[in-house]
Amino acid sequence: MKILSIAFFLLISFTAFSQKGNIIAKNAEIEKAGTGFAFTEGPAVAPDGKVYFTDQPNDRIYVWDEKDGVSLWLEGTRRSNGMYFNSKGQLVTCADLYNQLGYFDENKEFHLIHEGYNGKLLNAPNDLWIAPNGGIYFSDPYYHRKWWKEGRTQEQDVKGVYYLNPEGKITRVIDDFVQPNGLIGTPDGNTLYAADINDKKIWKYDIQSDGTLANKTFFAPHGSDGMTLDNKGNVYLTSKKVWVYSPKGELVQGIEFPESPANICFGGKKRKTLFVTARTSVYTLKMKVKGVD
């Protein structure tokens, strides 16, 4: 698919706080990088700057290249949802079909990382972030899927957030959300942001040495399907538009896209392209800041 410029100049809604510093590149325009999908999700930037994303209902993973555009990478992905690259360059995925965490190797073969908690299946991992030490934080809400086997229901008694440490030990670290979803951590491994999407709140936590969380603090009044960070520590949320908050929880800017954003990351070799999955399409926007994920 070729990149298609949208015939309008920046459908951007600046908030009253936007004068604190524009984070969008000068003269930048929102561009539609691809369309015709059922529901796009899970963008993850590879070490070379390419962005991999899912069309989850169609069970496909696509890849976006800033020069070549969008192309199909894999069909038959175990209904991959949220994704993230680990330090080995492997694409780690929330495999919705079988309630698993796994990764795809260089031959696009799936390898199981983890499944289950306390003797039961997980509800269905949704989004994940990999900490600097290799531990994995992931949300495990419950959304019924039409492709699941008949009779399958919520497996766990809690819609939680879990931490899988590098040795493979799993711990439930959040158990008081209505519906956990998007999450992201800081590059130093000290802070985790997590969204309670149905309660329309973002919470901030201190990450302890054993991976558990402490000092739950209200951060922003939005739910969010996905999150990312830039090199200034700003947090990007997806809730009808892209909301950008400073590390102190101050609203920096609101960015409106032609479709409601679902998930987000920074891509390109310089990590200065905001990549947004938004329902049936994916969009890009050049930025002044750069991503850190």
Q: What is the pLDDT of residues 202-254, one digit of tens each?
A: 999 999 999 999 999 999 999 999 999 999 999 999 999 999 999 999 999 99
**102 occurs within a structural domain:** yes
Residue ranges for the chain with pLDDT beneath 70: 1-21, 293
**293 occurs within a structural domain:** no
User: Residue 99 and residue 87: Cα distance in Å, rounded?
Assistant: 23
**164 occurs within a structural domain:** yes
What order of strands is seen across the sheet that includes strand 100-104?
Answer: 80-85, 91-95, 100-104, 110-115
How many domains, in total, are found in the chain?
1
Buried/exposed 87-106: b ≥16 CB within 10 Å, e otherwise: eeebbbbbbbbebbbbbbee
pLDDT recorded at residue 145 = 83
- Extract the tokens encoding 198: 């149905």
**13 occurs within a structural domain:** yes
What are the DSSP E strand ranges found in 36-135? 40-45, 51-55, 60-65, 69-75, 80-85, 91-95, 100-104, 110-115, 128-130
* CATH number of the domain encompassing residue 106: 2.120.10.30
**Torsions phi, psi of 97, nearest 5?**
-60, -40
- Extract the tokens encoding 263: 């998930």
**291 occurs within a structural domain:** no
pLDDT recorded at residue 227 = 97
**144 occurs within a structural domain:** yes
pLDDT recorded at residue 22 = 86
pLDDT recorded at residue 21 = 54
> Which pTM value belongs to this model?
0.92
The answer to whether 162 and 175 have CB atoms below 8 angstroms apart is no
**292 occurs within a structural domain:** no
**215 occurs within a structural domain:** yes
Residues 6+ apart with CB under 8 A from 163: 135, 136, 137, 170, 171, 173, 211, 212
Domain extent, residue 152, equals 4-286
pLDDT recorded at residue 166 = 97
pLDDT recorded at residue 4 = 42
